Structures are given as structure tokens and as C-alpha cells.
Amino acid sequence: MGKSNSHSFINYVCAAYPLLLVRTYEEFRALSTFVAQLVAQKILNNKGEEDGAYKAYVWDVVDGVHSLGISSKNNVLETGAENLEPKTVNNPEAALDFLATTAGDNSVLFLKDFHPYFEKDFADRALITRKIRNLVSQFKAQNKVLVFLSPDMKPPMELEKDTTVVDYKLPDKAELQIVLKGVCHATMAEMPKAKETEALLDAALGMTALEAENAFSVSLVEAKKFDPAIVRREKAAIVKKTGLLEVIETTETLDQIGGLEIAKEWALTQKDCFTPEAKAFGLLSPKGVLLNGVAGCGKSTLAKALAAAFGRPLFRLDMSKIKSKWHGESESNFRLVLDTVGATAPSILWISNSPLAW
């Protein structure tokens, strides 16, 4: 698993950071990553005595509080069989009381979808916020950590300085390969050869683990094999749902462009900079290109041809779709774009600007 997904979290926990915010759609994967670290982690208390492993709990508005652990049989996440505190069902205040009074030292409580309780139109927002602020010093003294787990959440102004954001990235190639092996095992399909696997993983970059699993599976159903084109099609449909990015399938080539000889010559000298051999050699890949010119001079066509020449996926971003009248939503939109494109790196981000975008 990626270093940023595990080590930063456990380091913050061991350093007694009281409030953490993890932005992710992948609840199960995030919990599995973090709990695996927690159950194995031991620290020394102030007296120099071993205080034992951390204990993990999870709360949501439907099921209340449950304990969390990793199964010794199959190494997967499992929850406690019984609700530890029935009154905490749909009661966020009682969930906070559980961590403060019932859970022992070295405890972590994950709160799923807590963001509605920080909305300004929530009647008890001030009470919830004040309660958390009152508990911060106690949590830090007792090595207790409150983790907000949400697809997109901005902490209220009162808690901004006490809350640390943990970056939880989309799966990398190594993690996606585990997903692919799981699909092969479940369907008794043969694992693709190395080159085919690489193409599949490239096509799946930028997807969640579940999205990639679904794409691999539908490829088997449709084509009776793992087809990168089908995986790319599924990714394009997923990206399109955000309304921010568009996956462009390119057919243009540099030979089809008239003029722009300097740009085409540059592209030909750079096209091999993305290969593993170039990376191993220490060759730097190009970071960006600024194309400026009147409408119809070939900027869009060149962007598509560059993606084809480099052999990398192409995403189109219309900056006018990023901006929003709601506070914080423009930043959230841009963060989602960067997370998606960053997960597919190296890739080409074609930023199409309109005069109204800035």
C-alpha cells in the first residue's frame, strides 16, 4: 500500500494528534489500511511501560459504535458482533461521549459521514463543535484520536487549527494488481501476461479499488478476457459523472498537423521520457506546455496529438466548470481533479480555458 496512505496516519496517531480528517470515498479500504496499522502498533506511555496495541472503533448513524479488528484467518477487516453502545445510534453527541468516557487510552474512533453535523443549517452544530473543542485536550492527554471519514468535508472554522488532514490516495499499480489477482481468483480466470497486465493497470489508474474490480469483471463478461479498452471506457464513464473531467480517446497524430514544426519536433524528442528506462536513467519528463493562439490555429488538435505521441491518457478540463458560487466548492472541485489526474500519472491534463473561467 502507498506510503502516504499508511505511514502518515499512524505517525499522527502515535504523535497524539487528537483530530484527523480523511477524505475518501473508499471507506472499507481506508479502514482496512488504518486498522491493520493500529492493531500492530505498540507504544510506550510516559512511565516507560508498554501500554499495548491501539484499539479501534467505528461509528455511523445507522449502526452506532462497533469495535474494529483484522481477522487472523484471512487478514480482512471485521467489526465487533455486538453494538458496544446502543444509545449512540444516530446520536453524534453520544458517539463523542463514548470515546471520552467508555473507550480506554490509546483508542481511535472513526466517524463515518460526520459532515452533516457541521453544516450551518444543522440545529445542534454549535453544540457538537463546542463539545469536540472541549474534548481535544483530553483526547491528546489520553492518546485518543477522533477520525472524520468522509468523501468531502471541510472542518468548521472553530476546529480548523485542531484538525489535521490525512491524504488518502487512490490505488496505485501495486494495489490494483492485487485487485486484478482477486478477480482472477474469484472467476478462475487466468492472470494476463506481464505486458497485458501493465496495459490493464494503466487503464485502471484513477479508479477506486471497487471501480477497478467492477471494470475488470465487466471486461471478462463482455469480451471473455481482460480488455484495457473496456476498462478505459468504464473509467471515462466514472470520470464523466463528476462533471469536471472528460477522458478523451485520441486518434490524431503529429503527422496530421500542418505547421507547428517546432512543437512537433519538441514532442518527438520528449515522447520517450515517460518510459521506465528513462526514469531509471534519471531523465526528467516534461511538466507542461502552454499553447497560446487564436481560435482554430490547432491548439486542441496538438493537445490530442501529444497524448497519442506520448502514449498517455488524456483528460480534458474546462476551467469554467471548476468555479462554484458555494464557499469551498471550487477548491473541492479542483482537489478532486488533481487527485484523479495524479492517480493516473504520468498522464496528460488538457486545460481548456474560457474567458469567463478566471
How many CB atoms neighbour CB 311 within 10 A?
13
Q: What is residue 55's predicted lDDT score, i.e. its pLDDT?
A: 87
Contacts of 248 (CB under 8 A, 6+ apart): 304, 307, 314, 315, 316, 350
DSSP-assigned letters across all residues of 119-166 = STT-TTHHHHHHHHHHHHHHHHHTTEEEEEEESS----GGGGGGEEEE
Inter-residue contact 32 to 175 (CB < 8 Å)? no
β strands within 61-141, DSSP E: 64-70, 77-79, 107-112
Over residues 86-138, the pLDDT tens digits come to: 666 678 898 999 999 988 888 999 999 998 888 888 888 899 999 999 999 99
pLDDT tens profile 12-38? 998 889 999 998 889 999 998 888 888
pLDDT < 70 positions in the chain = 1-7, 41-52, 72-75, 81-89, 242-243, 323-329, 343-345, 353-358
Name the nearest CA neighbour of 248 among 171, 303, 285, 309: 303
Element (H, E) at 59: strand 55-60
As a 3-state breakdown, the chain gives helix, strand, coil percent values, each rounded to 5, of 50, 15, 35
Round to whole Å and give the CA distance between 347 and 263: 18
Which grid coordinates belong to 295?
Answer: 481560435
Omega of the bond leading into 92 within 30 degrees of 0 (cis): no
- For residue 46, the model assigns a pLDDT of 39
- Which residues, including other chains, have CB under 8 Å from residue 222's CB and lie 6 or more apart? 230
Return d(Cα 148, Cα 211) in angstroms, integer: 23
Dist CA 201 CA 231 (whole Å): 9
User: Residue 201 pairs with which residues in a beta bridge?
Assistant: none
DSSP-assigned beta bridge partners for residue 68 = 56, 79
What per-residue confidence (pLDDT) applies to 47?
A: 37
**Residue 23, pLDDT score:** 87
